[in-house]
Structure 1
Amino acid sequence: MAGIVVVFDFDKTIIDCDSDNWVVDELGFTDLFNQLLPTMPWNSLMDRMMKEIHSEGKTIEDIVEVLKRIPIHPQVVPAIKAAHALGCELRIVSDANLFFIETILNHLGLRDYFSEINTNPSYVDEEGKLRIFPFHDFTKSSHGCSLCPPNMCKGVIMERIQATVTEEGKKKFIYLGDGAGDYCPSLKLKEGDFVMPRKNFPVWDLICKNPLVIKAEIHEWSDGEELGQVLLGLINKISIEENATFISTDCKLQTISVHETLPQALPVQQ
């Protein structure tokens, strides 16, 4: 299935919480975070929180140990490995940060399954403090998208990925996400693509308000088990459709039994 690119959000999609909130809460800085939240953009706030956490004697090793405990549904890792084994190219587009994401993926043994991670850059400075920077430097210029936060437009990233992979041949996309920031890239998907919004989360609510503006087929999911079932069902569906032109009419293979398990598209709400 070299023709399929699966693009994952990270927080509340691959993992089952927000990694920023998880680290802040687990290290005991929730009150300070809530106090500062109204005063600056989220991305800038996380950089500030890392400074505060470091000043209170917490180390990078403390942050790593917290990240290793992050909640994840037990079916998500097998689903990612299965999609990769089927030949899909896997990418991440996330408004978390590179240190958090790579630490978690390395702990889960998943880092090498992803060909690209698009997220806010971060690094550990000479003092041992984690620094977090915006993906898009909004202090110099705006990315111009009113749907997205100032530091990252996932739609712009999605368009860049589309342009890159289409040079290599026709590709189908499956996009999975949960947050409001996942709405913009969903609008960039084309007919023949698939979007998997997490049910009863912000991106789901936005899509349901006007599903007709989404060109991709919409397939909901509610937890990690359903994520795996729907994702692998869609990969199976694409595989059957792509191979159909090469199958003679008297050779049905196993399309009937497979078809019964395929996920149904979300009905358009009038």
Structure 2
Amino acid sequence: MGKRIVIIFDFDRTLIDDDSDRWVITNMGMTQLYNQLRPTLPWNSLMDRLLEELHIQGKTVNDVGECLKRMPLHPELISVIRLAHSLGCDLKVVSDSNMFYIKTILEHHGIYNCFSEIITNPAVVEDSGRLKIFPYHDAASTHSCDLCPPNLCKGRVIEQIQASISESGSEKLIYVGDGRNDFCPTLKLGAGDCVLPRKDFPLHDRILKNSQLVKAKVYVWGDGEELARILLELINNNSNEDKTQ
């Protein structure tokens, strides 16, 4: 029996071409406050503080949602995600964005239900209507990884995913990312897995500088169209391997 494919996507600048946090900052008039607070707060806390300010200004959760729905997602990538899901691939998102942003965007593009799991910073709408973001790793479950921000170690998440599927031992992991915090999960991949870094982004740079540490096969992509093509090839190749076994 062939290997089942588990595709794990980063979100910002990977699954979507832009950055959802910065999109909200720019399109909802938060740039000045962002620049003022950026040196004083960690990213996760900064995003929560900006959402608090939006609430104070009278902006609603629906306003934030409508802003997010204007974010483009490459149509060919949408098609490949739907195809991969229909073929039985297990699709997941591991992101340092937040659940409200990711769910809103994926639902808008009609692919939210293609993903079995979204692992990210929790977000809740308080009784006051204010959208609040919490860290994925809270103070009680902090990690010691120096490759990842305090609120989310993606490497630890990948290890948990690997542990959950280790009983069958027949899964092939494909990790798709772009940022510095995608290097830690890359190091957790085995020789039978694949990592797809975005060309000339921090993950690609780290892989080039530390290639001896990376066991997975590396496939570089530049935009959504190229990413869709590579994913389709990997899925088809895996299917062809099934037929020859």
Q: TM-score range by the shorter chain?
A: over 0.9
Letter in 2 for 1:148: C
1:11 aligns with 2:12: yes
Q: Which runs of 5+ in 2 are unaligned?
A: none
Rounded Cα–Cα distance in structure 2 between residues aligned with 1:135 and 1:143: 11
Q: Which residue of the partner structure matches residue 225 of structure 1?
A: 225
Paired residue secondary structure (2:15): coil
- Check 1:89–1:2 CA distance in 2 against 1; reply closer, same or farther (3 A cut): farther
Rounded Cα–Cα distance in structure 2 between residues aligned with 1:140 and 1:70: 34
Letter in 1 for 2:209: K
Q: Which residue of the partner structure matches residue 151 of structure 2?
A: 151
Deviations 1:144-191, CA, capped at 9 Å, x for gaps: 100001110000000000110122442110110011111110100001
- Which structure has the bigger radius of gyration? 1
- Check 1:151–1:5 CA distance in 2 against 1; reply closer, same or farther (3 A cut): same
Tell me if the contact between 1:155 and 1:185 (Cα under 8 Å) persists in the aligned partners.
Answer: yes
**Alpha-carbon distance, 1:241 to partner:** 2.4
- The 5-angstrom pairing of residues 35-46 of structure 1 reads 35-46=36-47
Q: Which residue of the partner structure matches residue 115 of structure 1?
A: 116
Q: Which residue of the partner structure matches residue 212 of structure 2?
A: 212
Rounded Cα–Cα distance in structure 1 between residues aligned with 2:168 and 2:112: 23
Rounded Cα–Cα distance in structure 2 between residues aligned with 1:240 and 1:2: 11
Letter in 1 for 2:195: V
The two structures have a TM-score, normalised by structure 2, of 0.96
Paired residue secondary structure (1:172): strand
Q: Which runs of 5+ in 1 are unaligned?
A: 246-270
Q: Which residue of the partner structure matches residue 186 of structure 2?
A: 186
RMSD: 1.2
Rounded Cα–Cα distance in structure 2 between residues aligned with 1:205 and 1:147: 14
Tell me if the contact between 1:13 and 1:178 (Cα under 8 Å) persists in the aligned partners.
Answer: yes
Q: Which residue of the partner structure matches residue 69 of structure 2?
A: 68
Rounded Cα–Cα distance in structure 2 between residues aligned with 1:183 and 1:201: 11
Tell me if the contact between 2:158 and 2:185 (Cα under 8 Å) persists in the aligned partners.
Answer: yes
Tell me if the contact between 2:187 and 2:215 (Cα under 8 Å) persists in the aligned partners.
Answer: yes
Rounded Cα–Cα distance in structure 1 between residues aligned with 2:169 and 2:193: 15
Tell me if the contact between 1:2 and 1:88 (Cα under 8 Å) persists in the aligned partners.
Answer: no
Structure 1 or 2: more helix by fraction: 2
Tell me if the contact between 1:198 and 1:204 (Cα under 8 Å) persists in the aligned partners.
Answer: yes
Which one is further off, 197-206 or 167-176? 167-176
Rounded Cα–Cα distance in structure 2 between residues aligned with 1:135 and 1:112: 22
Tell me if the contact between 1:5 and 1:173 (Cα under 8 Å) persists in the aligned partners.
Answer: yes
- Check 1:179–1:3 CA distance in 2 against 1; reply closer, same or farther (3 A cut): same
- The 5-angstrom pairing of residues 23-62 of structure 1 reads 23-62=24-63
Rounded Cα–Cα distance in structure 2 between residues aligned with 1:156 and 1:242: 30
Q: Which residue of the partner structure matches residue 171 of structure 1?
A: 171
**Alpha-carbon distance, 1:66 to partner:** 0.2
The two structures have a TM-score, normalised by structure 1, of 0.88
**Alpha-carbon distance, 1:2 to partner:** 6.7
1:202 aligns with 2:202: yes
**Alpha-carbon distance, 1:75 to partner:** 1.6
Q: Which residue of the partner structure matches residue 263 of structure 1?
A: none
Paired residue secondary structure (1:239): helix
